[in-house]
Every structure is written in C-alpha cells, then in structure tokens.
Structure 1
Amino acid sequence: MQKLSLPIPASEALAASQALQQQIAADIHRHQGWIPFSRYMELALYTPQTGYYSGGAAKLGKDGDFTTAPEMSPLFGASLATLAGTLFAQTLPQVMEFGAGTGKLARDFLTECQFSGITIERYFIVELSGELRARQEELLRDFPQVVWLQEMPAAFSGLVLGNEVLDAMPVDLLVKTEQGWAELGVTLAAQQADTTEPVLAWQERACEASRAAQIPQAEALPPGYVTEIHTVARGFMRSLGAMLQTGYADSGKGSAVILIDYGFPAAEYYHPQRSSGTLMCHYRHHAHPDPFYLPGLQDITAHVDFTAMAQAALESGLSLLSYTSQAGFLLESGITDLLSRSAPEQAMQYLPQANALQKLVSPAEMGELFKVLTVGIGMTLPERLLRHDRCHRL
C-alpha cells in the first residue's frame, strides 16, 4: 500500500496508538490469528482509554478530524427542536440521543425548546465514553432535563435522535473471489526487522452464505468486488424496535426515530461500479482509505445502507415514516425561518449562519449526500415532511 503522507502525531498520541496496536495483536492471538474486520473496527474505535471514541483527543471541529452538522450551526439542532414541538402531541415530551459527541446538538435543541416554549421533560443521552460524557456534562450544565445512560433502556416513548451514529458502527468486509464470496478479516503479518510493533494485514476467509445473502444481486457482482455489510447497525435497529415496542405497550404513546447520516439505498450502495466499498478513514481533516494507519488516532467509517436499516426496523415492528435528503428534511423542518430571526443587516451574525445553512442544504455539500431515515410506532409525520419523500427508492 502506498505510504500515507499525513500529519505526524504528538509523542503521547503515538504511544497510545502503539498501546492499542498491542491490544489488537493480543486479541488476534486469542482468536487463532484472525478476527473479522468488525472486531478490529470495534477495538480501534471503542477500546477504553485508547480507542478513537474512548480516548481524550479532540474529534470534532477545526482541531479535530471532521466536522458534523451540529458543530457547523445551531440552526441544525434548532430545526430538530422545531419539528419535535409538532411531534410531542403524539408522544411523551422526552428525547433520547445516541452519538451525542460534544453535546452541541443537545444544547442547541434544548436552547430552542426554551426559546419557543416547547416542553421537554427529559433529554436522555446514551453515552459509553466517560471522556465524552464529561464534556457533555460541562456543556449542558444549565439544562437539568439531561440524564445520561450507559445503555439502551428496555422501554422508551418519545423522540430518538442519531446524527452520524450508524456510520461509526463496525462493519464486516466481504470480497468476491473466483470461488465466490469471502470475508476480509485482520491478521498479523511477519514483523519488519526494524520494528517491534505488530504489523496488521488483510486475510480472506470463507464466508457464510447468510452474510453474502445481505448483498442484493450478489452473484452478479464481479470478482474483486469489495463491500461492507452492516450486521451491528442492523442489530441496533432491532434493539430500537424492541425498546419502542415496549414503550408503546407501557404508555400507549407513539415514538419516532430520526437517523441522519451519509449513505445510499441498497441499489446504489451495491452498484457494480462501487467496487471498492465505502470504507473511509479521517485523520485531522485528511480522508484516506487505510484503516490500519495509527489505530485509535483516526476515525473509521462506512456509508450507511439505508435499505438494510429500514428492513431491520420493519422486522422489529416499526413503521417506515420517511426517507429523504438532509436538504429536504431541514427545509421542511423550518431551518430558513430560524435563519430569518437574524437580520441580514447584522452581517457579523447573519453571514456565518447563512453560509452554514448553505453547506447543510446545498446538493453540492451535505444536502444530498446526507439522508434522513425516520421510522416509528404509533406516529404520523406532518404532511410537509413527506413532500420530498423517497421511500420508494429503498
């Protein structure tokens, strides 16, 4: 593989990555010399203290590795709050957020609720990382409605939010060979003479038929085709379904799940021309394809197969309410009305927000790449949110 030309990490960060590499190597040894890529991705992202999302380095914004919509503009969270105000008539006035990051989305959401008089009793954040929770607690100290959870509860009724959650869930990699489908996992190569660090390498293994069956038109794809399957994210969707089903039985109130992420429906995801898959890594605002580079210091993501997510939701008893672009969703949720609160004459305040809105909704920026999947139980969306619906593409 071509040597990457990326910023050199600080010595402390490099030591943390090297420690994680040793932990990954030990895990590979425990599993007879091979682990699925999903296991490697789990260790690289979520190992306590050294994993990417569990360590202390900044992840978001200009000093981090990437920027998310809530970090770009408070209009994003405010738009979701405006929508929530119309949905709470059908459910309990409470929210559960997954993947809360710095807590910026929660703060903007709750600030808009305060401003607009939207009653919200509880804002639950499901957070496994102690470091992220500490950041969130500091940012949200003025909002007593916020409650932190370490795991998904058995029952819930309300609004569930997940912005860029599904793309960070571990995926498995499959490759089409001349003999059929195989699974791409991670093994240890022979160590180089000038280093004591473990050298991670790819290795193919036989693939269970049930895994290849998750790929539409799998037999028609050419040899050499590499792609992902989303076993963990499917399981997450089924768990959401079970939680909301129980909540509906307990409270008689409906629930909605709004998931915002970059991805495609299955027909586009597994297109013959997408022959290298969608796996991508982000290190200090540099995107590159090598997941073995400095594990623990870079993000590893894959685009979302929204058809698979919708299918898992339906299988768990939820209804498919909407699938649309981020642009259509935000515009119909009233984001331009929120911008109009700032006077154009006040350029210092107005122009940054107008520029951020442009990035959020422009087809050339995030507006088309990011999609919004809404599923739920006992809920009906406002008619305006269905104007740009694309459920037929799933």
Structure 2
Amino acid sequence: MSVPVRPSPDLPPRPATVEERWAESRAPLVPRIRDEILGDGPITFARFMELALYDPTDGYYARRADRPTREGDYLSAPELHPIFGAALARQVEECWERLGRPAMFTLREEAAGSGALGLAILEALGLPARRAVRYLPTEATPVKEAAVRARVAAAGHAEHLADEAAPAETMTGLVIANELLDALPVHRLTVRNGELLEIHVAWRDGWFADELLPPSTPELGATLDSTGVRLVEGQVAEVGLAAQAWLRGLGARLERGYALLIDYGHPAAQLYDAAKRASGLLRTYRRHHAGDDPYRFVGEQDMTAHVDWTTLERVAEEAGLDVLGRTTQAEFLTGLGLGDLLVELQSRPGLTHAGYAAARAAVVRLLDPAALGRFGVLALGRGVATGPPLRGLGFRLPARAG
C-alpha cells in the first residue's frame, strides 16, 4: 500500500468520544467483539485484528470490494496500472520455463482483491505459457473469490481458471502474495519494568482499550529471541505469528515451483530498532490517509504492520523452502524490464496521450524508493534450481554514496 503522510480528515483534533467511536464503526461487529471480551476476558490484539478485518460477515476485508482502489482506502500496485502485471508476467513466464514448460502450471494469487493483477498477467503472457497457466485466485470469502473468477471469465480467460477445488491440493507453479502478509493479524508486545508483556484488548468505559498481560504464547518471545532482538523499556513491537503460519502452509502446499512475496517490511534489526520505531509499525488506512489508532472505525478501516523479513526467511527454510533471494520492488521491476514495457507501450495502436501519461506516472510511482519502490520482494522455491538468479532478482541499483 502506498503510505499517506497526511493525517486523516476524519480524525478530530481531540480524542473521539465513545459515542463518536460507536457511530463511525461497523455496528454489528463491535457488540460481537465486546461480548467475546466480556465472556472470556481480554483478547490478544491479533484476535481483535482478525475479527475487525476478517469477520466473515462484517469484517473490513469481507465487505469492502473497493478497498485497494482510488475510490477506496489505499491504492495497491496492481490497481495503479496493468503495467505492473505485465512486468510480473515476465517472471511468471520464466518460472514456467525453468520448470520445464509443464502442460499445467498453477498461478495462485493470495488475496487477489479485484483480480486486477491476475488479469493483467494473463493478458501479457505469451501464448504458449498462457495455454499452460491455470489461475487460482484466493480471497477472504467465497463471494469475493467468485467475483474475481467472474471478472477473469468475462475478460475471455475462463479456460485459464483453475478448478475451484484446487486450493486444497498441492501444486506445481507459482504463488504470488502481493500485500498479503502485512494484513495478517499481529500480536503486540512491550516491556514494562524489564518484563516482556503482551498488549491485549479489554472493554473499558464503554470501548476497547489496551491491557498489559503476560504473553499469550511462548512463541512470541521465541520469535524475538531467534532474531537476537531485545526490546527496550516502553518499546512497542508487532510479531506476526499468522504470517509464520501462512508460510508453513505454503511449504506444505507447494510441491514444486516458486513463490513471490511482495510487501513492505524490514530485516528484524531494523524493524525492531527502538531508536527509530519505538512505537512499532502498526498502521491504519482509511480514505487514503494513515492513522495509528486501531480502535477507531472498527471494521471500517484497514490495519497493517510491516513484516519481519528475517523471521519469514527462517520460517520458510524450516518449512522446506529455498530462499532464492530478496530485493526491492524497484530493483525487481527494473530487472523485469519495466522501463522497456513503457517504451513498447508507446507503439501500441490506439494509445492516447492520457493513457501513456497514466502508465508513465504509474512506473514512476512503482520505482520511487519513497513510494512503492521500497517494498520488498522475497523469492522462494521448492524443487527448483537456486541459480542462476531469477530475472527479477538479477538487477541491483548502485549503492548510495555515504
């Protein structure tokens, strides 16, 4: 997600009242979360985030079809312009080639959103690879998956859709997870009087509130220990156990092939640097503005946290996957020839000046290290050669002086 820098105009200059918080949040969802807390006691923040985002009827991702668009709350790379998908199509095709051009090649897209990325990839693939590809979109609910499949079919690619039963099967092909891991639920930790504690969510004075309790699982402290990180007094940090679980599932599912994880994050030493990120990197997004209060707009705003690349690489290897490399999105797309695609676009029949200007603006944003270009791309594999590097991993920007 592109990260806005302006404060949300929805946020008043004073703390919101309980009445305002009720009015701005998803009405059916708040009582269900409240009742769970009152019945079982404070819940982990990961559980709160799971309910706010993924509740099957009232969660943010279950309801908001326009979330990653200009009309929604944030703008993802696939929605920015199809040229992003056209660049990734080159990597898809190389992966297919390296696997020996199998007659059936599954392209599984996690958190497919509107299907814009999958559709752009299918449109840009060469004919031999397109014949082999079976596109498998996954989403938060069956209704949203069906909408993606309907869009792809309406665009003339029904024959390239994988069977709907395929998610339960092992696969040969490529998994793409673009901005999935940052949106998976995270636990929040802090240190008080030298003790590692977990921030839970309580119900207090008519609304949600933080409550410090011992960690809900030893895995939280073990994750930090595995990176060599020690939180300092008062520091707040996020640990993504759900992202680790997802990676283990990927290891079980991917029989032979590749995975591309595209997201914003840092190596552990940078992610948990108390001098720079003492309050953590949990963020909220609503109407293209960033916030930091997860108890506002419950069910009506997105919540994300930067991923820990160090831990994800460790867990991937433990799950039997090979780490093929990690780079920035700017370097990855440059290696795939994004600039060449823009030049080729100029000769496309019927392209208007406005159409070219939109594509050029998208390329600038995709490569900008202050915008989408700083995202990370982690390439994983199983049963594949670890060298030479994939095309997207073959380019590196010159190191900055100083």
The TM-score, its normalising length taken from structure 1, stands at: 0.86
1:342–1:349: 8 Å Cα contact kept in structure 2?
Answer: no
Distance 1:271 1:102 in 2: 36
Q: In the alignment, residue 108 of structure 1 is paired with which amino acid?
A: A
Q: Secondary structure at the match of 1:341?
A: helix
1:6–1:286: 8 Å Cα contact kept in structure 2?
Answer: no
Does 1:26 pair with 2:35?
yes
Paired residue for 1:250? none
- Pairs within 5 Å for 1:88-107: 88-91=96-99, 92=102, 93-107=105-119
Aligned counterpart in structure 2 of residue 371 of structure 1, from 368, 376, 393: 376
Does 1:171 pair with 2:189?
no
1:257–1:374: 8 Å Cα contact kept in structure 2?
Answer: yes
Does 1:334 pair with 2:348?
no
The range that moved more, 346-355 or 278-287, is 346-355
Report deviation, 1:231.
0.5
2:106–2:162: 8 Å Cα contact kept in structure 1?
Answer: no
1:128–1:150: 8 Å Cα contact kept in structure 2?
Answer: no
Distance 1:354 1:382 in 2: 31
Q: Flag the 1:331–1:15 CA change in 2: closer, same or farther, 3 A.
A: closer
Paired residue for 1:294? 297
Distance 1:131 1:234 in 2: 26
Does 1:143 pair with 2:147?
no
The range that moved more, 110-119 or 306-315, is 110-119
1:28–1:188: 8 Å Cα contact kept in structure 2?
Answer: yes
Paired residue for 1:85? 93
Q: In the alignment, residue 124 of structure 2 is paired with which amino acid?
A: E
Distance 2:388 2:342 in 1: 21
2:8–2:286: 8 Å Cα contact kept in structure 1?
Answer: no
Q: Deviations over 1:86-105 (max 9, x none)?
A: 11123342211101001100
Q: Deviations over 1:129-159 (max 9, x none)?
A: 2442243134212211123658842411101
CA RMSD between the two structures: 2.6
Q: In the alignment, residue 328 of structure 1 is paired with which amino acid?
A: E
Report deviation, 1:363.
1.5
Unmatched tracts of structure 2, length 5 or more: 1-6, 13-19, 398-402
Report deviation, 1:389.
6.8
Does 1:267 pair with 2:269?
yes
Report deviation, 1:7.
7.3
2:46–2:186: 8 Å Cα contact kept in structure 1?
Answer: yes
Q: Secondary structure at the match of 2:190?
A: strand
- Pairs within 5 Å for 1:240-259: 240-244=250-254, 247=255, 254-259=256-261
Q: Deviations over 1:171-226 (max 9, x none)?
A: 000011114100001010022xxxxxxx001001012544223123444x321000
Q: In the alignment, residue 55 of structure 2 is paired with which amino acid?
A: T
1:212–1:218: 8 Å Cα contact kept in structure 2?
Answer: no
1:74–1:105: 8 Å Cα contact kept in structure 2?
Answer: yes
Report deviation, 1:56.
4.2
Distance 1:225 1:68 in 2: 30
Unmatched tracts of structure 1, length 5 or more: 192-198, 248-253
Q: In the alignment, residue 372 of structure 1 is paired with which amino acid?
A: V
Paired residue for 2:394? 387
Paired residue for 2:249? 239
Q: Deviations over 1:359-386 (max 9, x none)?
A: 0012222112x00001111223654444
Report deviation, 1:70.
0.3
The range that moved more, 231-240 or 266-275, is 266-275
Q: Secondary structure at the match of 2:365?
A: helix
Aligned counterpart in structure 2 of residue 190 of structure 1, from 205, 213, 224: 205
Q: Flag the 1:28–1:166 CA change in 2: closer, same or farther, 3 A.
A: same
The range that moved more, 327-336 or 340-349, is 340-349
Report deviation, 1:352.
1.1
Q: Flag the 1:16–1:211 CA change in 2: closer, same or farther, 3 A.
A: closer
Q: Secondary structure at the match of 1:214?
A: helix
Aligned counterpart in structure 2 of residue 213 of structure 1, from 217, 222, 247: 222
Distance 2:143 2:286 in 1: 19
The TM-score, its normalising length taken from structure 2, stands at: 0.85
Q: Flag the 1:76–1:14 CA change in 2: closer, same or farther, 3 A.
A: farther
